[in-house]
Amino acid sequence: MARRKLKTFDDYSRALKDKYGIGELSTYKPWLRVQDVKSKGIRSQVLGLKTGRVHHTLSSIETEFFYLAEYSDSVIDIREQFPLLPINLSIKIAEALGIVHPAHPETKVPIVITTDFLLTRFIDGKKIYEAISVKPEHDVSNRRVLEKLELERVWWELLSVKFSYFIGNELTQIQSSNINWATHPLRSEKQIFTEDELSIAASFLSLGKHLIREICYLFIDKLKLQHEASLTMLRSLIGRKKITVDLSFPLENSDFIEILSIDINTEDLFSGAC
pLDDT digits (tens, 9 = 90+) for 236-269: 999 999 999 999 999 999 999 999 999 976 555 5
Is residue 122 located within the same domain as residue 179?
A: no
Give me the half-sphere count of Cα atoms (radius 13 Å) on the Cβ side of residue 182: 27
| Of 151, 168, 185, the domain-final residue | 168
d(CA 162, CA 113): 17
The better pLDDT of the pair 98, 264 is held by: 98
Are residues 129 and 77 both part of a single domain? yes
Which is nearest to 99 in space by CA: 41, 147, 154, 35?
Answer: 147
| pLDDT the model gives residue 270 | 45
DSSP characters over 21-89: T--SGGG---SS-GGG---SS--EEEE-TTTSSEEEESSHHHHHHHHHHHHSTTEEEEEEEEE--SHHH
Closest by CA position to 209, among listed 264, 265, 249 = 249
122: left (phi over 0), alpha (psi -120 to 50) or beta: beta
Question: What's 265's DSSP letter?
Answer: -
The domain boundary residue, chosen from 168, 198, 233: 168
For the segment 127-146, what is each residue's pLDDT rounded down to a tens digit? 999 999 998 877 777 889 99
Domain check: are 134 and 260 in the same one?
no
Type and span of the H or E element at 128? strand 126-134
The answer to whether residue 48 scores a pLDDT higher than 80 is yes
Query: Where does a domain end: 121, 146, 168?
Result: 168
* Same domain (yes/no): 51, 159: yes
Domain containing residue 95: CATH number: 3.40.1350.10
Find out whether 37 and 58 touch, Cβ atoms under 8 Å.
yes
Is the per-residue pLDDT at 202 higher than 60? yes
SS3 5: coil
Residue ranges making up the domain that contains 143: 9-168
Q: What is the pLDDT of residues 9-36, one digit of tens each?
A: 999 999 999 999 999 999 999 999 999 8
How many domains would you assign to the chain?
Answer: 2
Under a CB-based contact definition with an 8 Å cutoff, are residues 215 and 141 in contact? no
Does position 58 have pLDDT exceeding 80, yes or no? yes
